[in-house]
Structure 1
Amino acid sequence: MKLLLTSGGVTNASIHAALVEMLGRPTTECHALCIPTAQHGHPWCTPGSAWRFVAGRSPAPMVDLGWASVGLLELLALPHRPRDRWEAWVRAADVLLVDGGDAAFLAHWLRQTGLADLLPGLKDTVWVGVSAGSMALTPRIGGQFLSWPGADGDDRGLGLVDVSIFPHLNYPDFPDNRMANAETWAAQIGGPAYALDDQSALRIVDGVTEVISEGEWRAFP
C-alpha cells in the first residue's frame, strides 16, 4: 500500500503533487472511499464535523479534491455486512481517505473488521490519512493523544509503518501541540518519529519515508 500520512490533509501544492504521483493519474480519474470512523471516538468531534468531512467541507482538504467518485465506508457498519461485499468495494477503490478523530478508536475498528489485515495486500491503493487517520497506522500513538476510554491506556497503533507521528505542530487552537511537548512525546515513544505541522506530510512507499512539507517539521531518530 502507498501511504500519504498528513497532519492536516492535502493542504498545499507539494502534498497534492505527491498524491497525484502516488496515484499515477489525476484525481479526476480516481475513485475514492472516505472513512470517517475515527471521529466517533473523539470527544471534540460532532455529527456536524463528521458530515463536513464526508461532504468535502472539512478544514482538511480530502474529499473535495475532484475525485471521479467518492463513496462512504463506515467501519462500524462492516461487521453487519458480508465481508466479500465490502472487501470488493475496498479493492475497487484507488484511494482511501481517512479522517482524524481518535487514533486508538480507529485502530481498534480496523482490527475488528479485518480491514487491517487486508491493507498490506493492497499494493496499488493509496491511503491518505489526516491526523488520527495517519497515526492509527503507526507503532505508537502516544498517551497524550488517547481520548477514547476503550483504549484503556493502550496506545499501540497497527504498526504498518515504522515511524510515529505527532500531528498539528504549533496549530494555534491546540496549545499543547508545541515543540517542547513533541520532544517529551518522542522520548516516550521509543522509536523513530516525526512532528508535523498542517503543511507537512509523510510519503511512505515500499518502506521508504519521505517528508513532503511547505511548513514546519522535525524528525526524532
Structure 2
Amino acid sequence: MRALLTSSGIKNASINDALVDLLGKPVAESNALFIPTAIYPFPGGPGMAWRALSGQSPSPLCNLGWRSLGILELTALPSIDKSAWEPTVRDTDAILVWGGDPLYLASWMHRSGLTDLLPTLRPEIVYVGVSAGAIAAATTFVETYTEPPRGEDRPLKSEPAVFTTPEGDVNRTLVTGRGAGLVDFAVIPHLNHPDHPDASLPNAKLWASHIPTPTYALDDESAVKITESTTEVISEGTWHLFNA
C-alpha cells in the first residue's frame, strides 16, 4: 500500500504532485473515502468534521476534485456486517484520514478492523494521512495531553513531561500509543506552527527520543511519500529526521 503522510493536507503544488504520482492518475479520475473519526474527541468536533468534508477547512483534502467521495466512519463499522463496507474500501483509490486525536483514531482503527484490512488492500491504493491521520500510521507514536486518556483508548505508556513554549513551561502528559503499523517510522506534525506552540524543534526532538524508530518532524508545507520501495520527503518548508 502506498501512503502520503502530511502535517496539514495537500498544502502546496509539490505535495499535490506527489499525490497524483502515487495515485497514478489525476485526482479527478480517482475515488476516495474520508475518515473523520479522529476529530470527534475535540470540542466542536462534528462541525470541524463537516468543514473538512465540505472543503471549508484550511487543510486541503476533500475539496481536491475527487471523482467520488464517501465517508468511512470507523466507530460505526463494528456494528455493521463487514460484507457491507469492506468491498467499498477495497475498490477505492484513496483513503483520506483526517486529523484530531491520534490515540482515539488508532484505537478505532484497530477496533473497527481497518488496521487488519490495510495490508490486504491493492498496492496502488493510497493512504493519505493528515496530522493525527499521519501519526496513527506508525507502529509506535507519542502525543501530549493535558489529562491522560481514559477508557478503551488507554495508551501503552503514560508519563509526565514538561514542554517549553513561547509562553513558558507547560506540564502535560506524554503518552505512547500503538498505531496501525502501516509504516516503519513515526511522524510529528505541525513543526514550529504558531497554533501548536509545543511542536517546537526542541520539543519534537524530545518526543522523538521516546520513539524506537526514525521520526520525521514536518511543518505544514511538508509530507512523507511512501511507495513499495521508497520513502521520500516532499517539502516546500522545513522538516527534520530524528533517530535516523
Instruction: Name the TM tier (shorter chain).
Output: over 0.9
**Partners in 2 of 1:201 and 1:10 — Cα distance?**
9
Paired position in structure 2 for 1:152: 154
Structure 1 unaligned runs (5+)?
Answer: none
Counterparts of 1:147-186 in structure 2, within 5 Å, are 148-150=149-151, 151-154=153-156, 155-186=177-208
TM-fit CA distance, 1:207: 5.0
Paired position in structure 2 for 1:13: 13
TM-fit CA distance, 1:187: 1.0
Counterparts of 1:210-221 in structure 2, within 5 Å, are 210-220=232-242, 221=244
Give percent identity, aligned residues only: 50
What secondary structure, in the 3-state scheme, does the structure 2 residue paired with 1:144 have?
strand
TM-fit CA distance, 1:44: 4.9
Q: Deviations over 1:94-125 (max 9, x none)?
A: 11111001111111111111111110121121
**In the alignment, structure 1 residue 48 sits paired with structure 2 residue 10:** no
Higher helix proportion, which one?
1
What secondary structure, in the 3-state scheme, does the structure 2 residue paired with 1:153 have?
coil
TM-fit CA distance, 1:79: 1.4
TM-fit CA distance, 1:174: 1.1
CA root-mean-square deviation: 1.5
Paired position in structure 1 for 2:119: 120
**Partners in 2 of 1:82 and 1:152 — Cα distance?**
26
- Give aligned pairs, total: 220
TM-fit CA distance, 1:203: 0.5
**Partners in 1 of 2:142 and 2:98 — Cα distance?**
18
Q: Deviations over 1:106-148 (max 9, x none)?
A: 1111111111111012112111110000111102221426964
**Partners in 1 of 2:230 and 2:149 — Cα distance?**
31
TM-score (norm 2): 0.86
After superposing on structure 2, the runs of 4+ consecutive aligned residues of structure 1 that deviate more than 3 Å are: 145-148
With over 3 angstroms needed to count, the CA separation of the structure-2 counterparts of 1:79 and 1:107, relative to structure 1, is: same
The answer on whether the counterparts of 2:51 and 2:57 sit within 8 Å (CA) in structure 1 is: yes
Paired position in structure 1 for 2:163: none
**Partners in 2 of 1:112 and 1:58 — Cα distance?**
28
TM-fit CA distance, 1:54: 1.5
Letter in 1 for 2:181: G
Letter in 2 for 1:31: N
Counterparts of 1:68-147 in structure 2, within 5 Å, are 68-122=67-121, 123-144=123-144
TM-fit CA distance, 1:45: 5.0
With over 3 angstroms needed to count, the CA separation of the structure-2 counterparts of 1:89 and 1:148, relative to structure 1, is: farther
Task: Name the larger-Rg structure.
Answer: 2
The answer on whether the counterparts of 1:161 and 1:207 sit within 8 Å (CA) in structure 2 is: no
Higher strand proportion, which one?
2
- Higher RCO (CA < 8 A, seq sep 6+): 1
**Partners in 2 of 1:73 and 1:182 — Cα distance?**
31
